A and B are shown apart, each in its own frame.
Chain A
Amino acid sequence: MSRERVLQRNAHLSALGIITTIAAKEFKDNLRNRWLWMMTGILLLLSLSVGFMGSSISGSLVIFEPAQILSGLVTLSVFILPLGAILLSYDSFVGEKESGTLLLLITYPLARWHIVCGKFLGHTCVMAVACILGFGITGFMLGMLSEVQIRLSILIGFIHLISSGILLSLVFVLLGYWISLIVREKAKALGILLVLWFVLVLVYDLVLLTALVGLADTLNRNLFNVLILLNPSDLFRALNLLAGPSDTLAVKSSLALIAQTGIGLPLMYGLLICWIALLLLWCSWVFKGQEI
């Protein structure tokens, strides 16, 4: 029986304790280096700008309709959140390998999946706090300033934005772990992840939209849906356009088509969670098989 398996069996009772200890350390690290507050500040600034100053682009100074605000936030968040998540996680393993602490940690009586899950839980808390504060404050302020009839739809829209934003971030956090596990230098990990971010967030989406517009008559609808599901950032976009106020789809031209997958919100959330679960398992498996 492998040492890993023996450790897993024996440490089963204290696994939660180990995971929360590592998670707490990761969370505190991000408090200490001010990463958490920086990310929160960026998201808050972004949401406040879009919420209260977005109309200046059109030459007027009015507060946009909730649908327009949410649509604008989704469009920008799909770039910012994955980028933030990558910057949070790219050196999680390769950085500790370089400093020697990962080698030390794996000599401790804990299984490697404990380390992956501990870091993941810590980073989940970081991204959750950043998204809740960064978007939540703006959502709350907009709600308070809006008429009572639309207050609920704003609230619901922001809840979906926050929850799906956290899930999207976590997918990219885990992609960061994966790359961090398989490279030997921090700079290389960051480089690969930036390329990955560029492809998944920008290129993939543009190609998909081009295909959708250019091949509207011939492109199989099911294939299109599958292509959306294969990219978590498109899934995030589709989910929020579908979940937003009823007039969101109407104002978003071609982007709106992405949301018309015929798949319901629960399934979209489920798929994002599947992405996370698969990547978490994958990272644990990759780490388990490594000789440090």
Chain B
Amino acid sequence: MNHQALTPRVTDPLSNVEVAVRAKDISKDYGKFKALTDINFDVLRGQTLALLGHNGAGKSTLLKLILGLITPSKGQIQVQGQDVRAMNVSQSLSIGYLPENVSFYDNMTALELLDYFAKLKGVTKGKVHTLLSEFGLEAAKDKRLGTFSKGMRQRLGLAQAILAEPKVLLLDEPTVGLDPLASAFLYQKMAQLKAQGCAIIISTHELGLVQENMDRALILGRGHMIASGNLTSLREATALPAYITLHAISNAQRQQVLVDPILASYIGSSTPQGIRLSVPVTQKSVVLTLLLQKLKLEAFSVESPSLQDIFHYYMDKVDAPSSHTLSTDISQGTDIIKELAQQAKREWVA
């Protein structure tokens, strides 16, 4: 009997895209310690969700909940419309996972390792060779893993995660300790998987890299979901300014900027080399229009708030001195965290 066929297809009402992972009111307590509180999110087919947060914020706990390795104290996690705790073998094969800092078995070769995992997943040996070749490990397939670099190990780790062609891929800090080329390779592979419809949840601290490759971010602070959304909505929510730098402007143009009531109000700094404007995201298009049409300026650069800026904005709130007053009992939370969490939940529900 095909169990997957019986599973109701859950779709996102707005996009009509299939929901690959749904977390509904997830909480996880360890005794009095609340590791996660009221987490809600959807990851659609072909989407990448970045899980962000300090160490100990609950990212790995959340991944383990999605894997069904631990049971939530409250709420439910669905993968492909099925409660993850009640998944059968074929359904559990739809999840691929790469743990943080996995070191595998040093005495095995790459071929032996993938072959071992393939047998456990019921995957053919042909697939093993295809993946070794696809991940640039064919030449090193008979070398012991003990001789592999961190980048090669992570490539192998990602290869084992996608052995059974999963619908959902969970990656826990996959680029830690990797050089830029190795990181770029992993993200390139992730983009290919995404294009094939795989939903990816990636926990990471490398915000610059993930910003370019994610569809949504979920920011955790002390076990609470303090923000979630795509980069645009997060920029709007934080209202962090965008920076517009005017390069090589003439004196006449400089004068025009200084006398314009809108532009002048956003001047952050002015030097002989140029002017730097600090513009609220909501006003960015207005300012750009002014610059292009009124001043006929062409040499300027725009820096929107990066994911890193947004992350720091939230972490500064979470780590504000008042937040530390109850740091030994985060079950109480803090007003700021609670407020952010409620706001994030309202946005999610909306």
Contact = CB atoms under 8 A, between A and B. Distances in A.
Interface of A: 1-3, 6-7, 10-11, 14, 17-18, 21-22, 25, 28-29, 32-33, 99-101, 103-110, 291-292
Chain A binding surface SS class: helix
Given A2-B85, A3-B85, A291-B70, A32 B97 contact: no
A106 B85 contact: no
Interface stretch (B114-122, B209-217, B292-300, B304-312): B114-122
Contact of A109 (B64, B93, B100, B108): B93
Given A3-B68, A25-B108, 19 more contacts: A3-B85, A6-B86, A6-B88, A32-B108, A99-B102, A100-B99, A100-B101, A101-B103, A103-B69, A104-B99, A104-B160, A106-B69, A107-B67, A107-B97, A109-B93, A109-B120, A109-B122, A291-B64, A291-B69
Residue picked from A7, A10, A108, most chain B C-beta under 10 Å: A108
A107 B107 contact: no
Contacts of B87: 3, 6
Contacts of A101: 102-105
Given A100-B103, A101-B104, A104-B99, A1 B119 contact: no
A32 B108 CA distance: 9
A25 B114 CA distance: 12
A65 to B, nearest CB: 44
Nearest to A106: B69
B95 interface: yes
B97 to A, nearest CB: 5
A71 B335 CA distance: 75
A18 B88 contact: no
Interface string B58-74: 00000010011110000
B341 interface: no
Contacts of B95: 107
A2 B71 CA distance: 10
B157 to A, nearest CB: 8
B325 to A, nearest CB: 30
